[in-house]
């Protein structure tokens, strides 16, 4: 009997391969970063070929580290940065351009043109999404319109589209030599091309964005057998596929309606399970597919998406040189007692939920000569907490329920100063699980369920354990004053780009 399940976690800044045992504990892992490419302001790209190379490297490294053979692995799950768009040649597997990352804003003109008929919510009833540069459909259109000969080749069936899950599954299962061209319902729901009710590509949406259906992957459930891997994982079934935030929801075992989690990674993403109901937001959130396990009914979610969270810490490190390593930000932030009266609104790619303003840009407000780099570090961390509170308030209005605890995960949850401030700002406990890699774990769960490695979701709940909880201690009047100042700061980002 197989002893393990593996998960490939292809994120915005790095790719990981983690191997889990039957008790959900990681037994081996490897991680490698890839280049962030910024050709001009607002543009963000990745080299998809580099990401495929990094994926193979981390698979080999983790297998070697634990001396695990492929036949000991029951199945592999994939989880990925969503929306990031790759178009490649069917015959060669060569991308025709760099991948357009979810943070990229070059499609703003396309989105504005689409919004001329029906406004920003033109497709919301079908897709759950506002017209925004965030999503894949306009990115595909931009590539086909701006790469020489791309549209004609796509219409002839010579090009394929995929988000990073599709790109990796296609390559893992053989690439040009029989690679399986599939995606799952969670990733498809972020393209703005899938109908949330039918779970199929929608002809009206494809026509509006001028996307040839021949280039699209087949939409599958999040947990089923897609195809066998080649290479280092030869013979292992690829059997799980979830967008990263849905994978984190699944890994946190938020299987019941009303259960929520917040992931603090490159961005910040708060999801609440809404069961089998498609709930349309009236407060700036998006409606998305949470997961679909095999032939079971589809589970949906409301999501609040924040573009910049951990990426702001990286910006302090890479662009300003204020810190040498990302974890150093906590010590620097603790060198001061508060934010010194400054607020950092990181609208580098515009504002996502709940505002959806692609013409906003980042600001630091409240600057005086008193402010030092410690205050900037503290304001950097606090920005993630303030943005999260805006999402929580919108979510409570949409669902007419109160969130009593917030399950948290992602790289930033190791930062205890941030976790305490988050609890203070929300007035509810924040809870960190014992296995922090919940995104990878969610993909492993989906694959393991398809392979029979785990029996059902109820059994998975038993594997979730609390590592630490933070209780709110900040008086309510102070909390509300700070939050009011933040909301004022946010308005200063509006309409910066003409």
What is the Cα–Cα distance from 262 to 227, expressed in whole angstroms? Answer: 31
Per the domain annotation, does 37 fall within a domain?
yes
Region 34-44: what's the mean pLDDT? 93
- Same domain assignment for residues 315 and 239: no
- Same domain assignment for residues 203 and 344: no
- Same domain assignment for residues 301 and 204: no
Look at residue 86 and give its three-state secondary structure: strand
- Same domain assignment for residues 123 and 90: yes
What is the Cα–Cα distance from 193 to 203, expressed in whole angstroms? Answer: 8
- pLDDT tens profile 310-328: 999 999 999 999 999 999 9
CA distance to 12, 98, 106, 125, 288, per residue, from 101 (Å): 8, 9, 10, 25, 19
- List the structure tokens of 333: 């932030």
Question: How many CB atoms are located within 10 Å of the residue 212 CB?
Answer: 18
What is the Cα–Cα distance from 136 to 84, expressed in whole angstroms? Answer: 7
Return the pLDDT at 118. Answer: 86
What is the Cα–Cα distance from 65 to 18, expressed in whole angstroms? Answer: 11
Return the pLDDT at 323. Answer: 95
- Same domain assignment for residues 340 and 376: yes
- Same domain assignment for residues 241 and 330: no
- Same domain assignment for residues 235 and 303: no
% the chain with pLDDT above 70? 100
Is the per-residue pLDDT at 214 higher than 90? Answer: yes
Query: Whose structure tokens read 């573009």?
Result: 307
Are 283 and 354 a contacting pair, CB within 8 Å? yes
% the chain with pLDDT above 90? 85
Number of domains in the chain: 2
What is the Cα–Cα distance from 99 to 397, expressed in whole angstroms? Answer: 36
Region 50-69: what's the mean pLDDT? 95
Region 453-471: what's the mean pLDDT? 90
What is the Cα–Cα distance from 4 to 29, expressed in whole angstroms? Answer: 13
Q: In 3D, which of 267, 348, 339, 335 has the Cα closest to residue 303? A: 267
Region 40-63: what's the mean pLDDT? 96
Look at residue 37 and give its three-state secondary structure: strand
What is the Cα–Cα distance from 137 to 154, expressed in whole angstroms? Answer: 14
- Same domain assignment for residues 209 and 238: yes
Which of 116-150 are b and which e, b meaning 16 or more Cβ less than 10 Å from the residue's Cβ? eeeebebbbebbbbbbbbbbbbbbbbbbbeeeeeb
Per the domain annotation, does 226 fall within a domain?
yes
- pLDDT tens profile 264-287: 988 899 999 999 989 999 999 999
Band of residue 463 on the pLDDT scale cut at 50, 70, 90: confident
Domain boundary among 245, 262, 290: 245
- Same domain assignment for residues 215 and 259: no
DSSP 298: P
- Same domain assignment for residues 45 and 107: yes
C-alpha 258, offset from chain centre? 20
Band of residue 333 on the pLDDT scale cut at 50, 70, 90: very high
Q: In sequence order, which residues have a C-beta less than 8 Å from that of residue 231 and are 6 or more positions away?
A: 56, 59, 172
- Same domain assignment for residues 13 and 95: yes
Per the domain annotation, does 455 fall within a domain?
no
pTM over 0.75: yes
Per the domain annotation, does 135 fall within a domain?
yes
Kindly report whether the peptide bond that precedes residue 393 is cis, defined as omega within 30 degrees of 0. no
Band of residue 399 on the pLDDT scale cut at 50, 70, 90: confident
Band of residue 258 on the pLDDT scale cut at 50, 70, 90: confident
State the residue range of the domain holding 107.
4-245
Per the domain annotation, does 195 fall within a domain?
yes
Q: What is the CATH number of the domain that holds 408?
A: 3.30.420.40
**Residue count (the chain):** 498
What backbone phi and psi angles, to 5 degrees, belong to 15?
Answer: -125, 135
What is the Cα–Cα distance from 126 to 146, expressed in whole angstroms? Answer: 28
Domain boundary among 245, 269, 285: 245
Is the per-residue pLDDT at 401 higher than 90? Answer: no
Is the per-residue pLDDT at 386 higher than 90? Answer: yes
- Same domain assignment for residues 279 and 202: no
Per the domain annotation, does 351 fall within a domain?
yes
Which residue intervals of 97-163 are DSSP H helices? 108-115, 124-127, 136-146, 150-155
DSSP 411: G
Instruction: Tell me the Cα Rg of the chain.
Output: 21
Query: Whose structure tokens read 């008086």?
Result: 475
Per the domain annotation, does 459 fall within a domain?
no
73-80 and 237-243 as β-strands: parallel, antiparallel, unpaired?
parallel
Residue 88: beta bridge partners? 95, 160
Per the domain annotation, does 258 fall within a domain?
yes
The per-residue pLDDT of the chain, averaged, comes to 94
Return the pLDDT at 441. Answer: 94
Band of residue 1 on the pLDDT scale cut at 50, 70, 90: low
Domain boundary among 216, 245, 274: 245
Are 220 and 184 a contacting pair, CB within 8 Å? yes
């Amino acid at each position: 009997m197989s002893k393990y399940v593996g998960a490939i976690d292809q994120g915005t800044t790095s790719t990981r391969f983690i191997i889990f045992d039957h008790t959900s504990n990681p037994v081996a892992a490897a991680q490698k970063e890839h280049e962030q490419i910024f050709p001009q302001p607002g543009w963000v790209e990745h080299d998809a070929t580099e990401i495929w190379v990094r994926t193979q490297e981390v698979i080999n490294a983790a297998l070697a580290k634990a001396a695990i053979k492929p036949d000991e692995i029951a199945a592999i799950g994939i989880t990925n940065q969503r929306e990031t768009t790759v178009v490649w040649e069917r015959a060669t597997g060569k991308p025709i351009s760099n991948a357009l990352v979810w943070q990229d804003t070059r499609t703003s003109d396309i989105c504005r043109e689409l919004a001329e008929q029906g406004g920003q919510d033109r497709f919301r009833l079908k897709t759950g999404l506002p017209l925004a540069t965030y999503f894949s459909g306009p990115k595909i259109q931009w590539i086909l319109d701006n790469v020489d000969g791309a549209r004609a080749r796509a219409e002839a069936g010579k090009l394929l589209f995929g988000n990073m899950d599709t790109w990796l599954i296609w390559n893992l299962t053989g690439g040009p030599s029989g690679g399986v061209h599939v995606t799952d319902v969670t990733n498809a729901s972020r393209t703005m091309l899938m109908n949330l009710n039918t779970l199929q590509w929608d002809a009206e949406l494809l026509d509006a964005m001028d996307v040839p259906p021949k280039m699209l992957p087949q939409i599958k459930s999040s947990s089923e057998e897609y195809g066998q891997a080649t290479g280092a994982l030869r013979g292992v079934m690829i059997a799980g596929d979830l967008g990263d935030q849905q994978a984190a929801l699944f890994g946190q075992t938020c299987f019941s309606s009303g259960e929520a989690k917040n992931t603090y990674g490159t961005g910040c993403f708060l999801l609440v399970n809404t069961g089998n109901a498609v709930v349309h937001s009236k407060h700036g959130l998006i409606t998305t597919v949470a997961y679909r396990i095999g032939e079971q009914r589809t589970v949906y979610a409301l999501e609040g998406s924040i573009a910049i969270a951990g990426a702001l810490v990286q910006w302090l490190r890479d662009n300003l040189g204020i810190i040498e390593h990302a974890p150093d930000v906590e010590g620097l932030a603790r060198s001061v007692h508060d934010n010194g009266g400054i607020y950092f609104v990181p609208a580098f790619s515009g504002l996502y939920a709940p505002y959806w303003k692609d013409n906003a840009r980042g600001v630091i407000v409240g600057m005086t000569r008193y402010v030092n780099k410690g205050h900037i570090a503290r304001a950097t961390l606090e920005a993630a907490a303030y943005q999260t509170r805006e999402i929580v308030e919108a979510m409570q209005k949409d669902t007419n329920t109160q969130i009593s605890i917030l399950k948290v995960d992602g790289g930033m949850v190791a930062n205890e100063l941030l976790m305490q401030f988050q609890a203070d700002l929300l007035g509810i406990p924040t809870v960190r699980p014992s296995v922090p890699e919940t995104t990878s774990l969610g993909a492993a769960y989906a694959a393991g369920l398809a392979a029979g490695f785990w029996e059902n979701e109820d059994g998975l709940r038993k594997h979730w354990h609390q590592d630490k909880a933070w209780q709110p201690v900040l008086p309510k009047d102070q909390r509300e004053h700070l939050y009011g100042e933040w909301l004022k700061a946010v308005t200063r980002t509006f309409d910066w780009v003409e």
